[in-house]
Amino acid sequence: MLSSKRILLIIGGGIAAYKSLDLIRRLRERGAAVTPVLTRAAEEFVTPLSVSALAGQKVYRDLFDLTDEAEMGHIQLSRSADLIVVAPATADLMGKMAAGLATDLASTLLMATDTPVLCAPAMNVRMWDHPATQRNLKQLQEDGVRVVGPTEGDMACGEYGPGRMSEPLEIVAAIEAQLTAGPLLGKRLLVTSGPTHEPIDPVRYIANRSSGAQGAAVARALADLGAEVIFVTGPADVPPPEGVQVVSVETAQQMSDAVDAALPVDAGVFAAAVADWRVASASDKKLKKSRDGMPDLEFTENPDILKRVSQLDVGRPPLVVGFAAETDNVVEHATAKRLRKGCDWILANDVSPATGIMGGSENAVILISDSGAEEWPRLGKDEVARRLAAKIADALAG
Ligand code: CTP
């Protein structure tokens, strides 16, 4: 619930602005008061009348509107909220924020504020992938701005990829996580999840049976405690949770690069089932059975992401948590793995087929740390995730 929370909603000029109308409705349903601000460009997509009707409040539009300055200066407007939400955060708005420009009401409010800011980016996939946007994103995150989305999918411009604004309910979840003071509020956490796909040729790949369920549950539990979560996921069966920043990858190398881009973090949880090997030289053409006969695949080792991050001299997260999927001598193997990789904790589980854990809804884990092995009862993957998130919160607080 968001009762008595005050949200200043800055609506940028993008087609996703229509979703912000629903966002206003969802926030008000939960008891929040929404003060809307429209950029000039946003008025091309939604009308001030519909925004103010849904918000039940005046819409602020112009920096030089003297009536507003007399009623409530822009400084005060920016500070009287519990949270400023920028949705859609266009490439232009993100650029202005990152550069510290104050050229219109929206950017001036964002410069004048000491209130936490949450952005929901929305733009064309090429604009999102552009180095300038990625640079701005990194800058904003370093400045403490929280980001929800964007998600991947068909876009209004006809292209496909990341750039779609998160759905209103996902933005609401991120707002709730930020405003309901959880013990991980202000902490930035990284979670890797899912399998990786290692290409053989453009249509074939090597994969594993990880569903991504445990990683998604951990990311959700951390976000529920107020953490900002960067969720780096391979092609998983389960959808990513709401309220986290999703980075979709396919291969181990891409996952490794995405992890590097997410650092620094306060803690990293490495739940992905990363392929240990890849095909040394994947073909860029489909291998033909008639012409090429049996393929002679040569393998090469993938980067061990957990090990590399655990052993970083500079920028090692204060807490690094790995997973170990074992089929025998679980404690012994996982204890050795913790030392070999250099991580702080290992959550070990028995994935021998008889347990039904791989791909199932439950997990039975043993937490290995420098104080020994702690056996948890067999629990649902969500409950395992909640226990782990609570332990992480304790460790980061202590
Ligand atoms: N991991 C990783 N990068 C890899 C391989 C594994 O980050 N290339 C991480 C996993 O996310 C997990 C942990 O390392 O947290 C354990 O992975 P596992 O595959 O069990 O370890 P291995 O070193 O491959 O050990 P073994 O194959 O001997 O069981």
pLDDT tens-digit profile of 278-309?
A: 999 999 998 887 766 788 889 999 999 999 99
Residue 67: which pLDDT band, with cuts at 50, 70 and 90? low
For the cut 90, the answer to whether the pLDDT of residue 371 exceeds it is yes
- Out of 198, 276, 301, 320, give the residue to mutate to test ligand 1, the one with the largest number of ligand atoms within 8 Å of its CB: 276
Q: Which of 233, 274, 327 to mutate to test the pocket of ligand 1 (most atoms within 8 A of CB)?
A: 274
Residues 245-290 pLDDT 10s:
999 999 999 999 999 999 999 999 999 999 999 999 999 998 887 7
Q: With a 6 A CB cut-off, is 198 part of the ligand 1 pocket?
A: no
The response to whether residue 274 sits with its C-beta less than 6 Å from ligand 1 reads yes
Decide whether any atom of ligand 1 lies within 6 Å of the 108 Cβ: no
User: Does the CB atom of residue 51 touch ligand 1 within 6 A?
Assistant: no
Model pLDDT, residue 379 = 85
Tokens of 44: 């091309």
User: Considering only CA atoms, which of 121, 122, 119 is closest in space to residue 155?
Assistant: 122
pTM: 0.65
What the chain holds in terms of domains, given with CATH numbers, is 1-179 (3.40.50.1950), 183-398 (3.40.50.10300)
**For the residues 341-363, what does the mean pLDDT come to?**
84
To test the ligand 1 pocket, which listed residue (277, 323, 343, 368) has its Cβ within 8 A of the most ligand atoms?
Answer: 323
Residue 55 has pLDDT above 80, yes or no: yes
Query: Ligand 1 within 6 A of 304 CB?
Result: yes
Cα of 381 vs centre of ligand 1, distance in Å, is 19
Tell me, in angstroms, the distance from the centre of ligand 1 to residue 153's CA: 30
Q: In b/e form, how buried is each residue of 88-122, taking b as 16+ CB within 10 angstroms?
A: bbbbbbbbbbbeeeeebbbbbbbebbebbbbbbbb
Average pLDDT over residues 307-331: 95
**pLDDT at residue number 65:** 64
Please check the confidence at residue 153 and state whether its pLDDT lies above 90: no
Q: How many A from CA of 330 to the centre of ligand 1?
A: 14
Dist. CA 17–CA 369, nearest whole Å: 47
Distances (CA, A) of 322 to 19, 193, 342: 38, 11, 10
User: What span, in angstroms and rounded, lies between the C-alpha atoms of 385 and 365?
Assistant: 11
What is the pLDDT, as a whole number, of residue 356? 74
Please name the residue whose Cα sits nearest to atom 9 of ligand 1.
306
pLDDT over 70 at 375, yes or no: yes
What is the pLDDT at residue 155? 75
Lowest-confidence segment of 190-194, 307-311, 352-356 by average pLDDT: 352-356
Atom of ligand 1 nearest to the CA of 323: 15
SS3 168: helix
Q: Residue 146: beta bridge partners?
A: 118
Q: What percent of the chain has pLDDT over 70?
A: 96
pLDDT at 9 over 80: yes
C-alpha 325 – ligand 1 centre gap (Å): 8
Calculate mean pLDDT across residues 22-30: 96
Does the beta carbon of 275 sit less than 6 angstroms from any atom of ligand 1?
no
Is the pLDDT at 63 greater than 80? The verdict is no
Closest ligand 1 atom, CA of 326? 29
> Per residue in 157-173, pLDDT tens?
788 888 999 999 989 98
Whole-number pLDDT of residue 79: 81
For residue 104, the model assigns a pLDDT of 93
Residue 343 bears catalytic tag: no
Cβ 320 under 6 angstroms from ligand 1: no
pLDDT for position 209: 87
Helices 48-55 + 17-29 axis angle, to 10: 10
190, 208, 304, 363, best to mutate for ligand 1 pocket (most atoms within 8 Å of CB):
304
* 332-361: average pLDDT: 88
187 CA → ligand 1 middle, Å = 25
Where on the phi/psi map is residue 372: left (φ > 0), alpha (ψ -120 to 50), or beta?
left
